[in-house]
Every structure is written in C-alpha cells, then in structure tokens.
A and B are shown apart, each in its own frame.
Chain A
Amino acid sequence: MLLETRSLDAGYGRFRALFGVDIRVDAGECVAIIGANGAGKSTLMRSIAGVLPNAPDMIRHRGEPIGALSAAAILQRGIAMVPEGRKLFPSLSVEENLLIGGQKRRGNGQWTLDSLYALFPILREKRAMPGTALSGGQQQMVAIGRALMSNPELLLCDEISLGLAPVVIRDIYAALPRIRETGAAVIVVEQDITQALRVADRVYCLMEGRVTLSGTPAELTREAIHSAYFGGHA
C-alpha cells in the first residue's frame, strides 16, 4: 500500500470538514474522489499534501506516519499536488514555474523540461510568458507540469477540470496515461462523475466530510452514486 488515511479528521480552526475518512491508494493506481461542493475533497487533498497539519498517525505513506509533516517534507517523500485553482506564481514565467517545481526533485526521474514540453507542446511556445498570461487550460498544464517536475510517485490533482471547456478537459486528461506510464499513482478530485469513472481504477465518494461510497467503476451503479453524492434515497 502506498498511502492510506486512518480515521482522518481535519478542518480549519473550529470548523471541521472531514470526519473519520479512510481511503487507500496502491502504487501505480488511479483513484478518483468525487463529491459535491463542500464535501471535503479539497480538505482531504490539502491534508495529504501537508498544507493542513494533522495528527501523525492519521495519514500513512509506505507504512510511516506522515500526517504532521510539512508540505516541503511531503514533497520530499514523493507526493506532489496540483492545487485547486492552479495557483501559478504570477512573478514567474511558464518555464520558471516548471523549474521551481523541479527545484527539489527526487533522484533522476524521467520528467524534465524536455519531456514536459513533449507532453504539452504548447508550453514550449509560451515558455517565456508570465504563467498567469496563459488561457485556463494552458495554466492547468503548467500546474500539472510543475508538480510532475519533482518526479512524484503519487500525484494529487485537485479539481483540474474546474472552469474549463469540455474539449480542453479532454486534452488535459489525455496526458493522464502518459503520467501513469511512469509508474506514478494518481488521485484525481472531480466534480464531473463521468470523467472520474472513465479514468479511475477505484472511486471514493465524499459527502459532508464522510466517505459514503467506494468501489471500482464497474461495481458502482448510477443509483448508488446518486445517493452517495446527493444524500437521501434514490
């Protein structure tokens, strides 16, 4: 097992967003987290990435407790995040945004500027522009590339399709197989259930901070997902 959360409780100050969440990710696996707005998906990602501090034991990576580690220490362990809203650095060019992702790179993985430009050719053309001058889809490519530059073995993708046109979303998801070829596991957080079911090996559905459903896409019926997503009885 690559990563698991055990009874993960998390929140912001006095507001609690997650209640006893248990998920697991195996090496090389693609796991989708689905759920409505406010279900706690981003809180879960931010907890794993070390942005939100937790009790050490609530998150384990290769069996070791990592819940209390800083974001920088989590990255060193091979877990990189594409944050919600892309969060490119406005003072940095496209290429500098990519380079900063690789500043603390681990070992000699296969992601380099060249292999990223091969994955997203448009970025090579725009490499000298400020990251924030690009279109939303191109910015998302930079954000994904920036996370890949550290050669992660687990990539957390938080709402990478949010606010993008369907054709652009397709382009971005087309990169996923190439990323998985490197052996990396991926967690995608999605509001778009169809997209999530298409790419994931396993799916967790969150509602109001709790896991309401989990399984492989083949196991899950529309009705079960509907009820887990919106609550009530379908």
Chain B
Amino acid sequence: MIWLDTIVQGILLGGLYALFATGLSLVFGIMRLVNLAHGDMIVLAAYLILVLVTGLGLSPWLAVLIAAPLMFALGWLLQRVVLNRVLGPDILPPLLVTFGLSIAIQNALLEGFSADSRRIPNPDLEGASVALGPVTVGVMPVLTFASAVLVIVILNRVIYGTPLGRSFRATSDDPVTAGLMGIEPMKVFAVATGIAMMVVTVAALYLGTRANFDPAIGPARLIYAFQAVIIGGLGSLWGTLAGGVIIGVAQTLGAAVNPEWQILAGHLAFLLVLLVRPRGLFPRARD
C-alpha cells in the first residue's frame, strides 16, 4: 500500500509540473520561442501573490484572481515591447534576451525581497487531507492536479473552439499567410504570452503555498517544465500533463527508495523516455 500511496503522490506532484510547463508549451507551440525566463516568471508571480496576501490581507484564491490579469498585462507588454523584436529565423536572439531577463528578474526579486525563503500563507488548507480510497492525500495536491487538468481543458477549448485559437494555429502554421487573412502575428503572439502568464500565475499559487520559495529557484522549475514538455511531445498539452506525471512519479518513487534520489530519478526518467521515444510520447504530426 505504501507504493500505491507513493505513486498517487507522484501523480499529484505531476500536476504541479504540468502547470509549470503548460505556459512554456503554449508559447513554444505558437511562436517557436523558448522562454528561458519562464521559471523566474513563476517565481515573480509567486511574490506578487505573496504581496497581495500579506500586504492586503487577501486570501490566496482572491489574490490569484487579481494577479492573473496583472500577469497577463505583463506578458502582453513583454511580448510587444521586447520579444516580438527578437523573433525571427535565428533562434539565438530570443534565447539570449530571455536568458538576460531571467537574470534581471532574479536580481530584482533579490533586491526587493532579499534571499530569505518565503511561503504564501494558506492556513485553511495547509494541512488538510482527504481519504481517496485506500490512500490519504492532501487537499492542496489534489487541487493542484485538478487545476492543471482544468487549465488544459480550458486552453484546448480556446485553441480548438474559438476564433482566437484558430488565429493561434494559423499563425503557428504560417505567419505570412496568416497576415493575408488579416491576422497580425505580433498581436497574436502578445495575447498568447499574456495567456501563458495567467497559467504561470496559477502555477505560482501552488508553488508558493506548497513549499518555500526564494528568488533563485526559477531555473530549476524551468528544467522540470522543459522535461514535461519534451516527454509529452511538443505541441500537445495533454502530453505535457503526462510528462509532468511521469517526472512526478519518478521523483516520489526515487525519494521512497532513498530521499537523495528524488531529483535524480526525475532526470533519469526523462532520459529514459528520450531513449525510447525521441520525439516524446504524443508528438505533433508535423513541425
């Protein structure tokens, strides 16, 4: 029964990794942009929620509702003012710019909040748990996983069922021809990054309530997000969830054998999947 418990905890942890990865996957899928500052954006959003909770005395849930549109605006501006200027046939400029952005965000947070580790207070649900059949699980991990599923369901609805999503797919296929349809790719990219930052805000809530965070932990979240996206196959959001779950389960199984093996087991699982399925589990038909 201990193994079943470990696997369930791992699946739920996978929901958190999927939340880290979904925004990254969305942006990469639409504009082939690898945002190396994605992890730091999550940490930035966590501090934003922390400020709203501790400064204004809001509940974390209400704080997310306020932080999400602010992060959308930030993502929109970032894309319009900075990232749109470096997109092009050469993939190096966006990598350099987002790498620089990552360092700038980390240092700004360090300046503003010091290197002390913080946590978003969540007294109502912090220790709460429910019995799920034979295993007992925390309420917050269950909410994390449910949020990941909900975010992916909503994003898929938007992508496959709305004019905006049609513009996303058309621009991703062929930005020049999309222009002939009256679509302005640069505006579409700005909206996509804005939406990705709203997903980042949801990820930040669970990152910040689940464990301590400090300004320097962004890059490691980025690695987990990358691994989830690549295991799942580029361009498939459900694949990204599967990728998150595989890393989560590998980590909790590794930790159950020896606590020192938690992180290593996740990376080994990633390498193993790449050996067997180099294009990920659910690759897009064409790229």
Binding site for B on A (CB under 8 A): 49-51, 70-72, 75-76, 80-81, 83, 87, 89-92, 96, 99-101, 103-104, 146-147, 150
Give 7 A-B pairs besides A90-B286, A103-B182, A104-B182 with Cβ atoms closer than 8 angstroms: A50-B179, A75-B182, A76-B182, A89-B170, A100-B167, A103-B163, A103-B181
Chain A, Cβ-Cβ closest to B183 = A72
For the side of the interface on B, what is the size category? 10 to 19
Inter-chain contact A51/B163, CB cutoff 8 Å: no
Inter-chain contact A87/B177, CB cutoff 8 Å: yes
Inter-chain contact A51/B179, CB cutoff 8 Å: yes
Q: How far is the CB of B158 from chain A (nearest CB, A)?
A: 14
Q: A89-B170, A91-B172, A99-B166 are in contact. Are A70 and B180 (CB under 8 A)?
A: no
Residue numbers in A under 8 Å from B180 (CB-CB):
49, 51, 71, 75, 80-81, 83, 147
Q: Once bound together, how far apart are the Cα atoms of A72 and B170, in whole Å?
A: 14
Binding site for A on B (CB under 8 A): 163, 166-167, 169-170, 172-174, 176-184, 286
Q: Once bound together, how far apart are the Cα atoms of A70 and B182, in whole Å?
A: 9
Residue numbers in A under 8 Å from B176 (CB-CB):
51, 71
Q: How far is the CB of A197 from chain B (nearest CB, A)?
A: 28
Residue numbers in A under 8 Å from B172 (CB-CB):
91
20 example contacts (A-B, Cβ-Cβ < 8 A) are as follows: A51-B176, A51-B180, A70-B179, A71-B180, A72-B182, A76-B182, A83-B177, A89-B178, A90-B286, A91-B170, A91-B172, A92-B166, A92-B169, A92-B173, A96-B166, A99-B166, A100-B163, A104-B181, A104-B182, A104-B183
Q: How would you classify the secondary structure of chain B's contact residues: helix, strand, loop or mixed?
A: helix
Q: A70-B184, A76-B182, A150-B182 are in contact. Are A92 and B170 (CB under 8 A)?
A: yes
Residue numbers in A under 8 Å from B166 (CB-CB):
92, 96, 99-100, 103
Inter-chain contact B184/A72, CB cutoff 8 Å: yes
**Residue B177 contacts which of A50, A89, A104 (CB distance < 8 angstroms)?**
A89
Residue numbers in A under 8 Å from B182 (CB-CB):
71-72, 75-76, 103-104, 150
Q: Once bound together, how far apart are the Cα atoms of A146 and B170, in whole Å?
A: 13
Q: Once bound together, how far apart are the Cα atoms of A200 and B183, in whole Å?
A: 31
Q: Once bound together, how far apart are the Cα atoms of A80 and B181, in whole Å?
A: 8
Q: Once bound together, how far apart are the Cα atoms of A75 and B182, in whole Å?
A: 6
Interface centre among A70, A91, A92, A104 (most CB of B within 10 A): A91
Inter-chain contact B179/A71, CB cutoff 8 Å: yes
Inter-chain contact A91/B167, CB cutoff 8 Å: no
Residue numbers in B under 8 Å from A87 (CB-CB):
174, 177
Inter-chain contact B181/A75, CB cutoff 8 Å: yes
Interface centre among B166, B174, B286 (most CB of A within 10 A): B166
Inter-chain contact B181/A101, CB cutoff 8 Å: yes
Q: Once bound together, how far apart are the Cα atoms of A200 and B254, in whole Å?
A: 73
Q: A72-B184, A103-B163 are in contact. Are A90 and B179 (CB under 8 A)?
A: no
Q: Once bound together, how far apart are the Cα atoms of A24 and B16, in whole Å?
A: 61
Q: Once bound together, how far apart are the Cα atoms of A51 and B185, in whole Å?
A: 13
Q: How far is the CB of B64 from chain A (nearest CB, A)?
A: 31
Q: How far is the CB of A187 from chain B (nearest CB, A)?
A: 14
Q: Once bound together, how far apart are the Cα atoms of A212 and B166, in whole Å?
A: 43
Residue numbers in B under 8 Å from A91 (CB-CB):
169-170, 172-173
Chain B, Cβ-Cβ closest to A87 = B177
Q: How far is the CB of B257 from chain A (nearest CB, A)?
A: 43
Name the 4 nearest CB pairs between A and B, nearest first. A104-B182, A71-B179, A91-B169, A75-B182
Chain B, Cβ-Cβ closest to A147 = B180
Residue numbers in A under 8 Å from B179 (CB-CB):
50-51, 70-72
Residue numbers in A under 8 Å from B169 (CB-CB):
89, 91-92
Q: Once bound together, how far apart are the Cα atoms of A80 and B179, in whole Å?
A: 11
Q: Once bound together, how far apart are the Cα atoms of A49 and B172, in whole Å?
A: 20
Q: Once bound together, how far apart are the Cα atoms of A47 and B169, in whole Å?
A: 25
Chain A, Cβ-Cβ closest to B285 = A90
